[in-house]
Structure 1
Amino acid sequence: MSRWKALPAELDPRVRQLLVRLRRLKDHSGLSLGQLAAKTGYSPKSWERYLGGMSLPPREAVEAMARITGDDPTRLLVLHEVAAEAWAERRAAPEATEPEVLLTGPESAAPPVAGPGRSLRIALVAGAVAMVLAVVSAVLLAIRLQGGGEEEAAAPRASSAASASASRSEPDPGPPTYTCRMERIDGRWYTGNSRTQDAVLTVGLAGPKVAEAQCLLLRRAGVSPGGVDGIFGPMTQSAVKQVQRRAGLVVDGVTGPHTWKVLRG
């Protein structure tokens, strides 16, 4: 498992929630940054910045990560939506500055002098700016509430729910669990995870088909794949090679139709 550097301390909890989830998916997949780049189309340097908290990964990169690791894309994209909102808020936050008063006429040539007149002008300008901002915010809110339909209203609710979940820092449920229920049907063995007989599985893939192969490797062939976690990693590949070597097949560590035939008996 990768030894990750600590995320930046100033990172928003909503962004941190997304990056921690992406780091766990990469660890479970067994992919290096180079392999991850080859499968997603984003360079290793880009993934290094994304997973290090230096820049926010785009939606397409998050969706690609979910696809290749077998994770639920809907949940992951909701986390990304919340993180993107937090990231935009941080970048848009204005720095505190003193109000600036522009004068015209003779007063503009004179140096600023502290006094009741100047203080009054500053207070009036600041009050006017605050009033304009309040009016603009109210108008935008009214337009959003009136113009958005049921679908638009559902998005903020989902975002709020995900944000509340992130702020509570609930424990991640982790990857799905699989069981090996051996059953013989029409002369072939199945374990209850998949009925495939020809799926091509290799390092980096994940899901119930991988779990099915792992159960058969463990229960039928007597070779340990490193656990039944649904992730095709190096130990699963090594177990497949042992079975292929025994059966006189091409030893490439890839589970294809011929290897399935041996495993299912």
Structure 2
Amino acid sequence: MLVRHRVALASAAALGAVVLSVTPVAAHSAEPALSPVAASAVAPVPLVEPGAPAFCGYYDGSTTTRRGQSGAPVREVQCLINHWSGGQPLAVDGIFGARTESWVVHFQDLKGLRVDGIVGPQTWAALRAL
């Protein structure tokens, strides 16, 4: 009985390794399924008319935002950067850390703005003019 149990565990471990090796590919190639409750809690993103300022809905002001800060303004910056970038998206976690600062610097450089990693009035305007 002990041998059969060990064989079953070894088989389950091997099958688990196969599933885990395939799952990340499948997880990134399809839309996540939402439960009926979660689906109803997700608000649709409104379409923005060309020329209208872009907003993600976290914050609509233009307070200077920089590394070390957190909250709704930081979430708005992260979300707006994700909208224009084609690379690895930022986590919209509301924490202005090194990765967010790096993306802000990159964005400022591409837009010909002063490159300082701080989201001031000019950077806000450029982010919203997507």
TM-score (norm 1): 0.30
Structure 1 residue 203 corresponds to structure 2 residue 67? yes
Segments of 4+ in structure 1 off by > 6 A? none
Q: CA separation in 2, counterparts of 1:233 and 1:182? A: 28
Q: Out of 73, 79, 101, which is 1:237 matched to?
A: 101
* CA shift digits 1:54-77 (9 cap, x unpaired): xxxxxxxxxxxxxxxxxxxxxxxx
Higher relative contact order (CA 8 A, sep 6+): 2
Who is 1:22 aligned against?
none
Residue number in structure 2 paired with 1:130: none
> What is the aligned counterpart of 1:191 among 39, 50, 56?
56
Partner of 1:215: 79
The alignment partner of 1:216 has SS state of helix
1:58-99: per-residue Cα shift (whole Å, max 9, x none)?
xxxxxxxxxxxxxxxxxxxxxxxxxxxxxxxxxxxxxxxxxx
Equivalent residues in 2 for 1:1-265, closer than 5 Å: 181=45, 183-184=47-48, 187-196=52-61, 198-222=62-86, 224=88, 226-265=90-129
Task: Please report how far the alpha carbon of residue 192 of structure 1 lies from its aligned counterpart in structure 2 after TM superposition.
Answer: 1.1
RMSD: 2.3
Which of these two proteins has the greater Rg computed from alpha carbons? 1
User: Which 5+ residue runs of structure 1 have no aligned equivalent?
Assistant: 1-178
Contact 1:202–1:232 (CA under 8 A) maintained in structure 2: yes
Q: Is the 8 A contact 2:108 2:114 kept in 1?
A: yes
TM-score normalized by structure 2?
0.59
Residues 114-150 of structure 1 deviation map (CA, whole Å, 9 limit, x = unaligned): xxxxxxxxxxxxxxxxxxxxxxxxxxxxxxxxxxxxx
Counting matched residue pairs gives 86
Which structure shows the bigger proportion of residues in helix conformation? 1
Give the Å deviation of 1:224.
4.5
Q: Is residue 56–residue 80 contact of structure 2 (8 Å, CA) maintained in 1?
A: yes
